[in-house]
Amino acid sequence: MKKSVKYSLALVLMLSLAASGIIILSPIKAQAVTTTLKIAQGGDPITLDPYDSWDSASNDVILNIYDQLVMYVPSTLQFRPGLAVGWQILPNTTIIFNIRRNVTFHNGDPMTPYDVWWSLQRVLPLYLRSALFNSSYINNATANPHHWNWSEYDGDRESFVWLLFEPVKDIRMADIGFWGNTTFTGENATAGDGWDEIVVEFSEPFAPGLSLFSYAATSIVNWKVATELGPHGMKFAPVGAGTGPFKFNSWILNYKVVLDKWENYWGQVPHVDRVEFQTILSASSRTLAIKTGMVDLLYPESADWYDLKSDPNIETWQEAGLGTRYISFQCLQNVTGRMFGILSNTTVRKALSYAINYDEIINGELFLNGLATRMTQPVVPAIEWAYNSSIKPEDEGGILPIYNITKANEILDSLGIVDVDGDGIRDIKGWTNSSDDFKLIYGYNIGNAVRERVGTLLKDSFAQIGVDLEIQGDEWSVFLYDKIVNGAYDIWMLGWGPDYIDPDTYFYPLFHSKFIWSTNGAGVNISSVDTMLEQARAETNQTIRAQLYKNVTNILINEYVWAWCYIPDNLYAWRTTVTGFKHSPLDQMDDLEYVEITPSAGAGIPVEVIAIIVGVVVAVAVIGGIAYWRKGAPA
Amino acid sequence: MVDDSYSKSYEDAENFTFTVDLPGLKSGIVERPRLQRFLDFLSRLKNPLTIIGIIIVAGLILSAVLAPFIAPYNPIAVDLNSKNLPPSLQHPFGTDGFGRDIFSRILYGAQISLFVGIVSVLGAVAVGVPLGILSAYKSGYIDTVIMRIMDIMLAFPSIILAIAIAMVIGAGIHAVTIAILVVSIPVYARIARGSALAVIQETYIEAARAIGASGLRIIFRHILPNILAPLLVEMTLDIGSAVLSLAGLSFLGLGAPPPYTYDWGRMISDNFSYQAVTRYWWQLTFPGLAIVFCVLGWNLLGDGLRDAMDPKLRLKLSKEAKKLIKDLKKKQRGLEKSNAKKPVRVVN
Amino acid sequence: MKGLYAYIIRRLILLIPVVLGVMLLTFILMHSIPGNPVAYLGGSGKLPPDAVEKLIKIYGLDQPLFIQFFLYLANVFQGNLGTSISVNPGANITDLILTAFPHTVELTIYSSIIMVLVGIPAGVISAKKRNSLTDNVTRVGALIGVSMPVFWLGIMLQIVFGVAIPIFPLLWAGIHEPAVKATGIYLIDGFLSLDFRTIVDSIMHYALPSIALGALSLSIVTRMVRSSMLEVLGEDYIRTARAKGCSENATIYRHALRNSLLPATTVIGLQIGGLLGGAVLTETVFAIPGVGRLITDAILKYDYPLVMAGVLFIAIIYIIANLVVDVLYAYLDPRIRY
């Protein structure tokens, strides 16, 4: 056979292959379009079992699979009826929820008050749970063979949020007027037969009680499904367990969680057919993903914010958040194994507060990139009634320290802490017996870029006031559970997120002396603060509470226990194909049922073009190879 | 770190040399003085690639030593007024997000790279070579145990072993150094054992034993000098791969703690962001180039050393012999050319 | 052939102590790392200390070390690798590794194709035209390839081919998933189900990572082939072939190539074994959920069981690759006796 004939045959073969590829391809393109909302997350969810969740990746998924008794009006901090159509708050210690009727779980089961009761008791401390199960009016339930087996669940593991539910004394199903003394039908109770109230009793007055029932952890699950699936199933594939707008489809570990639209949702039926939560660990990868249209919605990186904002295909939302970030000083006089002292002096803390470049931390591109506001006090402005708006930084005419090296130097000089030996570092002999040089340790957790960079920044500014700073990175658990609580650092940066929308969560665990060695890492030990915080917790009059919190705030600010750093903004970014996204002030992605998505032409080169290119390249390569082989190795 | 470092020992195969088999040349071999020997060695390094390697390595050492004197800026001084500046006359390689001069940081980074490279390699030699020689010299039970342990260490992907070790010790340059050191121990143990085994079979060892030389004397006097050449080559090449390993580990966040983050790999990972990829390319490009040049320099030097130390070339040839070889080479080249000109095609 | 089987069996038996040693070494390493996997579950720091203590008991982390090790051994021999503590709490480790592994395999396939299809011809041409411009360019290129950090090359490829000239997708994320998932390797699944889009998508998404990863192996193979080719070209039988008037091409491709590929087989085999063990940095830069990234993640989060299982898995794969290479070599080279 002639060579040219062979080559042309090969060419025809290749081209027909490429063509057949396109033909095979076309039916796929022609398939009915399902609308999919793709969301990028920075980490895989830990669990899809609500009672066990604490991380934001899990929460975002859980909030869309399940509903809670109390939910938020989209984009606000106002409560709206969720699976409870209404509630009554009886004086001081009791909340009665009226359970919504005609709600069905994803597997078609109707939701009953028993499901509600069963789901709520799961988050309680263990001792309360067993007490509830043993109490007389639910004996029938404990006798049930399908009863949830605690020991199955990693031993007697408690919910991660159980501590918050310690004030709860009792949760029971009830009918108003017949509390506790009617015949109980246990899990067979259905909505509508009189058993559609859930009563929650607190052991002490607890002002923020209602918000406990809006947590992802208190989501209502189908108890039958949960019992059948067992802990492992609930964690990884809670099929039919929720009542939320989306039902679980699949979870490919470390890759994505897929949820499908739930047609019979009691509220707004979702517009999109499918939601995918994709795990993309690297921050820059996430930014690229939304820019190229691989995902539709995410929490953007502050560093890339302005790129996203200026992108015509992307919409963004920014508002002040509810979390706080502060630099804490070790205020304790004496810690076992380590002598402190210098930072127990309020004036020294004040001097250091002036050596922190707040402006760079808030506006620097490597830090918050302008996407934060200065924190002025423990509580955030969103909680208006307890927020003292008259406290302002010095450059705005207030009293809070701003970055002012000269002032910091003056204060230290006036204290008599000066550089004696001329090495550029102030000497503190006589102040403490730890060392002569004024040397401090800054701790951060490895992997937290902002905290690490703050260390670099502090090192530089502190050098200018004659203070030597050692930067020490530790693994997260060591950082939190070992170093901070044992006073191994002098200064460190931490964040705080509210457990509930009430000033109590911004004060009580952080400044009450009861929590020194745990959440009160700074070691704030002021008896008047303790008394006022306890008073405010039990008080129901908002005016009195506000005054108490404002008093505490004044004391803390004048004591310089923390350097009040910033309040990060909540950031969302979504592609313009997405409409109706409700940005929650709680920095979470619930309410995805309102989202609509218009299928776009798709970014990048069309698949057909790629197919032709690949086909031609392969053909050329093969023919070239044959030609070369023929030339190179004559037969 | 390279994703796979099992390749090291296979690079040896590169040492191709042109050998001439001529019995008549033997008459030309003469004993030469040490200085002459050294000069010969130097003359064999005259390969242009090797010279580039020497220049790079020398530059590296110079910049590490002289960094405090020649660096225009303090590598850790924050200057918030000159953040993210592109390369210019003031900042030849631009500045990073803290306004630190990248050029100065790269100069200082040479200190870390050199320190980690040299210390980890010397350490690995100090542990691995005695193990290898012991293994070869004692043979039997000890040999088996040592080599099995080395096998186990080699069975780990080196980067994962290094990450684990670095995490045991805690982040920091010392931890990374020890991690790289431990990972390269088996390589040296194997080389030392292999070379030592070859030497032990020689008759002069037999002779030394016969006249009652102690084991230590045999090891130090006879075995060690004879395995030095392959070791030196491997060490040079290994400094290069140690720098790569350091870069990889730093990229994963296990390198020097702040503020001394002017390690090259760390500079890349610290600056690696969407902003840097799309806008501040100099923050990623220059530290990377520094790594490439550094490793390339050590590799070129290693290759050159290997060629120069090749025992097959270690003949001092008389003038006549050299001329003979030259003529022969010429002839062969002529033959090749004439062959190439008229290819004989086998037609079937 | 009989000898070959005996050789394989002998080698397999010799593997047992190595595997046990790998397990012991990983175990010791992981338990020397400061930090506590359980505390990691606390994430945002809301986990109370007594809950941590409880979890430590549940996971048996309070037992003496040697007891923990024997428990671990016993479990592994029953085929139970345990459950993850902090990466995906409660997830079956075998599942985790088996979902991650196909992606690593796919990356390895592409990198190997680049390595073989580019590396061998480059080495041959370089040797054939020794000291020519082509040779020098190839040699320097290969040297630079060996000297380049993989992650940096990956980033540079992203800058050039993802941002400046956007040809390829920058990330693994967004890859088209095959409808039929028989193997988990998308390329193969695409061919099995004749799903052209999956094939194209797989090629496009793995292009940059496999170039970044393949560059190193490619350089190593090129250097190896070149030097062994040169060595072979100096052999007597090549001279004979030339002397009897064989054409230059025939000499090289018929006589020299075959013999010089023998040592290259070893290198390629070991490279593939190494690549299968997870390309930690490449997977990190391109966000590919493969084995390397899984194990790094596990180490950084102190997930003892996952790290131990993953390292064991990789070590066994590498040991097997070694064994296969040795056997293949013994099979291909009649001079080798076993």
The CATH number of the domain holding residue C219 is 1.10.3720.10
Check residue A28 and give its pLDDT: 47
SS3 (DSSP) at A493? strand
The answer to whether B258 contacts A460, with C-beta atoms less than 8 Å apart, is no
End-to-end CA distance of chain A: 14
Q: How confident is the model at residue A141 (pLDDT cuts 50, 70, 90)?
A: very low
Check residue C336 and give its pLDDT: 60
For chain C positions 73-92, those within 8 Å of chain A (CB to CB) are 87-91
Contact A478/B at CB under 8 A: no
pLDDT at B338 over 70: no
pLDDT at B98 over 70: yes
Report the alpha-carbon distance of residue A71 to residue B143 in Å, rounded.
70
Check residue A273 and give its pLDDT: 92
Q: How far is B294 from chain A (nearest CA, A)?
A: 27
Kindly state whether residue C217 falls inside one of the protein's structural domains: yes
Contact A303/B at CB under 8 A: yes
Beta strand extents in A463-515 (DSSP E only): 468-474, 491-496
- Find, among A261, A220, A221, A265, the residue nearest to A241 by Cα: A221
Kindly state whether residue B96 falls inside one of the protein's structural domains: no
Check residue A22 and give its pLDDT: 55
Q: Which of residues A445 and A464 earns the better pLDDT score?
A: A464
C partners (3+ CB pairs within 8 A) are: A, B
Report the alpha-carbon distance of residue B218 to residue A533 in Å, rounded.
80
Nearest by CB to C197, from A25, A44, A294: name it. Answer: A25
Kindly state whether residue C20 falls inside one of the protein's structural domains: no
* Number of domains forming the structure of chain B: 1
What are the start-end ranges of the H helices in A109-184?
A: 113-121, 126-134, 139-143
Q: How confident is the model at residue A136 (pLDDT cuts 50, 70, 90)?
A: very low
Kindly state whether residue C157 falls inside one of the protein's structural domains: yes
SS3 (DSSP) at A520? strand
When pLDDT is averaged across residues A606-610 and rounded to a whole number, the result is: 61
Q: Which of A218-222, A235-239, B252-256 has the lowest mean pLDDT?
A: B252-256
Q: How confident is the model at residue A484 (pLDDT cuts 50, 70, 90)?
A: confident
Report the alpha-carbon distance of residue A244 to residue A238 in Å, rounded.
12
For the record, the structure tokens of C61 come out as 């982390």
The answer to whether C30 contacts B164, with C-beta atoms less than 8 Å apart, is yes
Q: Which of A211-215, A444-448, B97-101 has the lowest mean pLDDT?
A: A444-448
How far CA B150 is from CA of B155, B182, C276, in Å, comes to: 9, 11, 21
Residues in chain C: 338
Report the alpha-carbon distance of residue B303 to residue A587 in Å, rounded.
57
Q: Tell me the chain C residues in contact with residue A518 when contact means C-beta distances shorter than 8 Å.
A: 48-49
B partners (3+ CB pairs within 8 A) are: A, C
Task: Render B172-219 in DSSP notation, one character per residue.
Answer: SHHHHHHHHHHHHHHHHHHHHHHHHHHHHTSHHHHHHHHTT--HHHII
Burial classification of residue A345, based on how many CB atoms lie within 10 Å of its CB (0-12 exposed, 13-18 middle, 19 or more buried)? middle
Task: Render A395-428 in DSSP notation, one character per residue.
Answer: GGTSSB--S-HHHHHHHHHHTT---SSSSSS-B-
For chain A positions 491-530, those within 8 Å of chain C (CB to CB) are 497, 499, 518
Angle at B52 between CA B50 and CA B58, to 5 degrees: 100
Whether the upstream peptide bond of residue C169 has omega within 30° of 0, thus cis, is no
Check residue A149 and give its pLDDT: 39
Contact C307/A at CB under 8 A: no
Check residue C161 and give its pLDDT: 85
When pLDDT is averaged across residues A109-118 and rounded to a whole number, the result is: 86
Contact A219, A176 (CB under 8 A): no
Check residue A556 and give its pLDDT: 93
Highest mean pLDDT among A107-121, A571-585, B42-56, B223-237: A571-585
Kindly state whether residue B18 falls inside one of the protein's structural domains: no
SS3 (DSSP) at A508? helix
Q: How many CB atoms lie within 10 A of CB A90?
A: 10
Q: Tell me the chain B residues in contact with residue C146 when contact means C-beta distances shorter than 8 Å.
A: 11, 295, 299
Q: Which of residues C84 and A79 earns the better pLDDT score?
A: A79
Kindly state whether residue C68 falls inside one of the protein's structural domains: no
The answer to whether A155 contacts C58, with C-beta atoms less than 8 Å apart, is yes
Check residue B213 and give its pLDDT: 79
* Residue where the block lists tokens 């597997």: A107
Q: How far is C33 from chain A (nearest CA, A)?
A: 10
How high does pLDDT run on average in chain A?
80
Q: Which of residues B123 and A600 earns the better pLDDT score?
A: B123
Helix (H) / strand (E) element for A172: namely strand A168-174
Q: Tell me the chain B residues in contact with residue A460 when contact means C-beta distances shorter than 8 Å.
A: 76-78, 259
Nearest by CB to A283, from B171, B261, B273: name it. Answer: B273
Check residue B18 and give its pLDDT: 43
Angle at A201 between CA A197 and CA A204, to 5 degrees: 160
pLDDT at B124 over 90: yes
Name which of A288, A294, A368, A452 to mutate to probe chain B: the one with the most chain B Cβ atoms within 10 A of its Cβ.
A452
Name which of C92, C106, C124, C171 to mutate to probe chain A: the one with the most chain A Cβ atoms within 10 A of its Cβ.
C171
Contact C39/A at CB under 8 A: yes
Nearest CA in chain B to C247: B343
Kindly state whether residue B291 falls inside one of the protein's structural domains: yes
* Number of domains forming the structure of chain C: 1
- Find, among A448, A444, A431, the residue nearest to A351 by Cα: A431
Kindly state whether residue C52 falls inside one of the protein's structural domains: no
Check residue A144 and give its pLDDT: 36
CA B78, B83, B88, B94 torsion: positive or negative? positive
Residues in chain B: 348
Contact A300, A573 (CB under 8 A): yes
Q: How far is B165 from chain C (nearest CA, A)?
A: 7
Instruction: Mark out chain B residues that contact chain A at CB-CB < 8 A.
Output: 76-78, 80, 83-84, 97-98, 171, 253, 257-259, 261, 270, 272-275, 277-278, 345-346, 348
For the record, the structure tokens of A623 come out as 């023919």
- Find, among A116, A73, A124, the residue nearest to A98 by Cα: A116
Contact A424/B at CB under 8 A: no
How far CA B335 is from CA of B324, C230, C242, in Å, comes to: 16, 18, 10
Helix (H) / strand (E) element for A173: namely strand A168-174
Kindly state whether residue B246 falls inside one of the protein's structural domains: yes
Name which of B49, B56, B152 to mutate to probe chain C: the one with the most chain C Cβ atoms within 10 A of its Cβ.
B152
Number of H helices, E strands in chain B: 13, 0
Check residue C239 and give its pLDDT: 80
Kindly state whether residue B49 falls inside one of the protein's structural domains: no
Residues 6+ away with beta carbon under 8 Å from C262: C228, C329, C332, C333
Q: Which of residues A33 and C229 earns the better pLDDT score?
A: C229
Q: Which of residues B43 and B6 earns the better pLDDT score?
A: B43
| pLDDT tens-digit readout, A548-563 | 999 999 999 999 999 9
Residue type, position A119, single letter: S
Kindly state whether residue B332 falls inside one of the protein's structural domains: no
Q: Tell me the chain B residues in contact with residue A364 when contact means C-beta distances shorter than 8 Å.
A: 80, 83, 97
Q: Tell me the chain A residues in contact with residue C293 when contact means C-beta distances shorter than 8 Å.
A: 281
Check residue A635 and give its pLDDT: 36
Q: How many CB atoms lie within 10 A of CB A448?
A: 15
Q: How far is C21 from chain B (nearest CA, A)?
A: 6
Report the DSSP beta bridge partners of residue A569.
A320
Q: Tell me the chain A residues in contact with residue C288 when contact means C-beta distances shorter than 8 Å.
A: none
Q: Are strands A562-575 and A297-298 parallel, antiparallel or unpaired?
A: antiparallel
Angle at A142 between CA A141 and CA A144, to 5 degrees: 70
| pLDDT tens-digit readout, A189-200 | 554 455 578 888
Report the alpha-carbon distance of residue B164 to residue B206 in Å, rounded.
44
Q: Tell me the chain B residues in contact with residue C209 when contact means C-beta distances shorter than 8 Å.
A: none
ipTM for the predicted complex comes to 0.80
| pLDDT tens-digit readout, A359-372 | 999 998 889 999 99
Domain that holds residue B293: 110-314
The answer to whether A288 contacts B274, with C-beta atoms less than 8 Å apart, is yes
| pLDDT tens-digit readout, B230-257 | 888 889 989 998 999 899 888 877 777 7
pLDDT at A177 over 50: no
Q: How far is A280 from chain B (nearest CA, A)?
A: 14
For the record, the structure tokens of A34 come out as 């399902």
Contact A290, A300 (CB under 8 A): yes
Check residue C49 and give its pLDDT: 57
Check residue A568 and give its pLDDT: 92
The answer to whether C287 contacts A280, with C-beta atoms less than 8 Å apart, is yes
| pLDDT tens-digit readout, C20-30 | 888 888 888 77
Contact A451, C13 (CB under 8 A): no
SS3 (DSSP) at A317? strand
CA A53, A55, A61, A66 torsion: positive or negative? positive
| pLDDT tens-digit readout, A347-400 | 999 999 999 999 999 998 889 999 999 999 999 998 888 999 899 998 888 889
Nearest by CB to A304, from B83, B253, B274: name it. Answer: B274
Q: How confident is the model at residue A186 (pLDDT cuts 50, 70, 90)?
A: very low
SS3 (DSSP) at C132? coil
Contact A285, C173 (CB under 8 A): yes
Kindly state whether residue C117 falls inside one of the protein's structural domains: yes
How far CA A515 is from CA of A486, B8, B286, in Å, comes to: 13, 56, 49
Kindly state whether residue C151 falls inside one of the protein's structural domains: yes
| pLDDT tens-digit readout, A323-343 | 899 999 988 866 544 445 688
* Gyration radius of chain B's alpha carbons: 25
Check residue A123 and give its pLDDT: 81
Contact B132, B193 (CB under 8 A): yes
Q: Are strands A297-298 and A70-72 parallel, antiparallel or unpaired?
A: unpaired
Contact A514, C78 (CB under 8 A): no
Check residue C40 and give its pLDDT: 53
Report the alpha-carbon distance of residue A229 to residue A256 in Å, rounded.
21
Check residue C286 and give its pLDDT: 84
Name which of A47, A53, A55, A254 to mutate to probe chain C: the one with the most chain C Cβ atoms within 10 A of its Cβ.
A254
For chain C positions 266-325, those within 8 Å of chain B (CB to CB) are 266-267, 270-271, 273-275, 277-282, 284, 292, 295-296, 299-300, 307, 311, 314-315, 318-319
What are the start-end ranges of the H helices in B220-280?
A: 224-251, 264-271, 274-278
Contact C195/A at CB under 8 A: yes
The answer to whether A303 contacts B275, with C-beta atoms less than 8 Å apart, is yes
Residue type, position B290, single letter: A
Domain that holds residue C283: 101-293
In chain B, % of residues over pLDDT 70: 79
Q: Tell me the chain C residues in contact with residue A57 when contact means C-beta distances shorter than 8 Å.
A: none
Burial classification of residue C192, based on how many CB atoms lie within 10 Å of its CB (0-12 exposed, 13-18 middle, 19 or more buried)? middle
For the record, the structure tokens of B251 come out as 């990229």
Kindly state whether residue C28 falls inside one of the protein's structural domains: no
pLDDT at A614 over 90: no
Kindly state whether residue B241 falls inside one of the protein's structural domains: yes
Helix (H) / strand (E) element for A569: namely strand A562-575
Give Cα B233 distance to the centre of its chain: 7
Helix (H) / strand (E) element for A97: namely strand A94-99
Q: How far is B124 from chain A (nearest CA, A)?
A: 28
SS3 (DSSP) at C152? helix
Burial classification of residue B324, based on how many CB atoms lie within 10 Å of its CB (0-12 exposed, 13-18 middle, 19 or more buried)? middle
Q: Which of A91-95, A253-257, A275-279, C153-157 has the lowest mean pLDDT?
A: A91-95
Query: Could you tell me the CATH number of the domain that includes residue B166?
Result: 1.10.3720.10
When pLDDT is averaged across residues A502-512 and rounded to a whole number, the result is: 88
Contact C167/B at CB under 8 A: no
Q: How far is B272 from chain A (nearest CA, A)?
A: 8
DSSP annotation of B156 reads S
SS3 (DSSP) at A631? helix
Burial classification of residue C37, based on how many CB atoms lie within 10 Å of its CB (0-12 exposed, 13-18 middle, 19 or more buried)? buried
Nearest by CB to B258, from A283, A366, A456: name it. Answer: A456
Contact A117, A135 (CB under 8 A): no
- Give pLDDT < 70 ranges for chain C: 1-2, 33-61, 173-174, 278, 334-338
Kindly state whether residue B263 falls inside one of the protein's structural domains: yes
Report the alpha-carbon distance of residue B251 to residue B266 in Å, rounded.
5
Report the alpha-carbon distance of residue C271 to residue C216 in Å, rounded.
10
Q: How confident is the model at residue B341 (pLDDT cuts 50, 70, 90)?
A: very low
Q: Tell me the chain B residues in contact with residue A455 when contact means C-beta distances shorter than 8 Å.
A: 258-259
